[in-house]
Every structure is written in C-alpha cells, then in structure tokens.
Structure 1
Amino acid sequence: MQIAASVASLLVLGSAWTLQVAAVQPESQANFDLDQFMGRWYELAVVSDCPHYMQHKRENPVVVALELQHVASESNFTATAATFRNDSCKETSTVYSLTDTPGRFFHHFARFAADVDSFVVHTDYEEYAVMLQLSTEKPSETKTTKIKLYSRSTDISPAALKLFQSLVRQHGMSNDAVIKNHSKGECVPGGQATEAKNVTSAGV
C-alpha cells in the first residue's frame, strides 16, 4: 500500500509539474501578420534570467532602434539594430528565419553558440510589441529567457506595460529586475550621442 501511495503521489506531482510547464509554454500573437510587424521599433525595457546579459545591459541601458525588413520572396527577415556604445552609434544586423508558426522566428547567435527562438507574444502593430526569446547554448544546453518591450516610439501605454509585466511574472522573473532603457537621441551610424534623456514610458 505504501508503494502504491508513493507511486500515486509521484504521478500527482508529475501531473502538477506538467501543468505548470504547460502554463508558460510560449505562444505567439494570434493571427500574426508579418508585414504589419515590419518597420521601426524601439527597445524600451528588457529582463532576463541570464546574469551575463543583465550585467551587460546594466552597463549600457540605452534604447535600441530596430529596423525590420522583409522581402516577400524570402523565408527570413533582417533586423538592423542601432544603439550608442561609448557615446558612438553602432549598427548590427541579424537575420531571423521564419518558422511554420506565424510570429515565431529563429536565429543562431554565433558569439555564444546559442540557438534562439523568438516569439511575438503581444502586439497591436501600431504601438507596442512584447517579445519572448528562449536561448539554448551549445554544447552545454544552458537555457536562458529574455523578455523585451518594444514601441513604435519612445513612449509606451499603461496597457502595453501591463502585458509586458504579466509575461515577466509568468516566467518567474521580477518586475523589479526589469532594465529601463533611456534615450540618447537618434542613433545614426558613425554619429555621436547628442543628448541623454529618460524614456517617458508610463512607469517602465
């Protein structure tokens, strides 16, 4: 009887664990429209369970301007990021492969030998987007989670902020850990930072 009870307990615990995992399984925006998602975005806030990433962001919590471009005949799109580093504007590009799931993308981050799955969890296309990124480093199989809040401008609405904070909590992270990016003005590659001001983002 004791053995049977122990097995039953393990099955119950296993079922509960499965339900908890299922509760945070990533899902992208319903009826996601890639063309509407393209264009200019600004990364206003980020959080991650990766200590190295968070330390890097704390050292340079600056708004990142993203320009997304997709060619209709291609199965990928390019994200060109521009941000200030050491008061100089730097630009990098990442190619995201499309997947069979609309709103879910894939890319490989060579610097850390990491495979990255990105999910646009919430967006209204015209104002805000909340993105979840799940990374797996090879060969260690180390897994990390990042959550990012994007806006079409350097402002964000309370409703968008609420969606972002809810996703942060769902993935076991604290809203107190969120890094709020600030603007140093428009980033033009090769240019210098001209001003520094706080993001007016309704409490981001």
Structure 2
Amino acid sequence: MKSLLLSLVPALLWVSVAQAEVLLQPNFDARKFSGLWYVVSMVSDCKVFLGKKDHLLMSTRAIKATAGGDLSVHMEFPGADSCNQVDAEYVKVGSEGHFRVPALGYLDVRVVDTDYSSFALVYIYKELEGALSTMVQLYSRSPDASPQAVKALQDFYPTVGLPDDMMVMLPKSDMCFPKDK
C-alpha cells in the first residue's frame, strides 16, 4: 500500500504542475464575459466525449456574473428530440477567470483567452465516471466562429496535450438556439 501511495505522488505533482501552466485571460472581466455564447468547437481526451463527439451538436451558454465574481451558467444541449438544460454555478477560485464547478465534476475551469465580443477559449480539467480528463471549448457570440477564433483554438489545445483527432467543430442545431437569432 505504501509503495502504491508513493508511486501516485509524482503523478499528482505532475497534474498540479500541468494545471499551473495554463494561464488565465489577463484582467478577466466577468461582466464583459456575461451574455450568450455558442459552444462551436470542443477538444477533449475524455472517453465519454470521444465516444460521442461525431454525434454532438452546437450548444449554448447563457452566462451571468454574480457580485462575488462567480458565474451563473445556463447550458442548453440538443438531445435526440428535445433541448436538455443544466444550470451550474462556476465558483471563483482565487484569480479572476479561474473557477471550479463541483456539481459537474469540473475541478479546474479557466478562461484562457477572450476578446469578449466574438470568442473565448475555456479550459476545463474534470472528473467524469472516475476518470480525469482535459477539455478545451471554443465559445463564439454567434453560431459562426471567426477564422481568428478557430486559429486561437488550434494554437492553444496542443499546449495542453490534446491532439488534432480529439477536436470537433460542432454542427448547428435549431433545437436550443434562441428564437431571435
């Protein structure tokens, strides 16, 4: 048992170091980040994601900053015949733009890059079904991401160890989109 615990220490230290290397958006402003975002692309090594990535559709996030620096996030995901909805609190951890979401198993959520008006890159380190995984999501203010936003995603996800074959551009779906868009 002691040898098992000792063998886990380097792995845990590596995870801590790897997480610390993911930088945050400088001077992150939660109020500017608030509003409607479309999740237009995702990259992940999560086994559940990899098994479903070819069938996933674009989803939305309606984000509202709270007075304490947390984010209230309303997520809508297209399902087989309905729009699935989830509400979650992104709890601020230390620096602005750094969160955890215990209800979803998100251990580390970081807004790593955003211009607030067109795109954002969101890094997520999570636990799902007992396994740890990394995910990067590209948010866009419209269902069509700009070439600059896609390039920012493509430049970033290899830095956290994710290869190209784990990336998917999500097809549009009318099921969960706001009616006025």
TM-score (norm 2): 0.80
Q: Secondary structure at the match of 1:29?
A: coil
**TM-align CA RMSD:** 2.6
Where structure 2 has 5 or more consecutive residues not aligned to the other structure, the ranges are 1-13
Q: Tell me the amino acid that sits aligned with residue 122 of structure 1.
A: D
Q: Distance in 1 between matches of 2:50 and 2:149?
A: 22
Q: CA deviation at 1:122?
A: 0.6
CA distance in 2, matches of 1:177, 1:126: 27
| Contact kept? 2:66, 2:72, Cα under 8 Å | no
Structure number with larger C-alpha Rg? 1
Q: Residue in 2 aligned with 1:82?
A: 76
Write the distance in 2 (CA, Å) between the matches of 1:104 and 1:23.
Answer: 11
Decide which of 100, 105, 130 is 1:106's aligned counterpart: 100
Q: Structure 1 runs of 4+ off > 3 angstroms?
A: 21-24
In the comparison of the two structures, how many residue pairs are matched? 165
Aligned-residue offset at 1:83:
2.2
Select the residue among 125, 146, 168 that pairs with 2:135.
146
For residues 80 and 119 of structure 2, the distance between their equivalents in structure 1, rounded to whole angstroms, comes to 28
Distance in 2 (alpha carbons) for counterparts of 1:149 and 1:180: 9
Please name the residue that 1:93 is paired with. 87
Q: Can you list the C-alpha shifts for 1:145-197, whole angstroms capped at 9, x where unaligned? A: 001000000111222111101111112222233112111215269x9xxxxxx
Indicate the percent of aligned positions where both proteins have the same amino acid: 27
TM-score (norm 1): 0.72
Conserved 8 A contact 1:24-1:171? no
Aligned to 2:161: 172
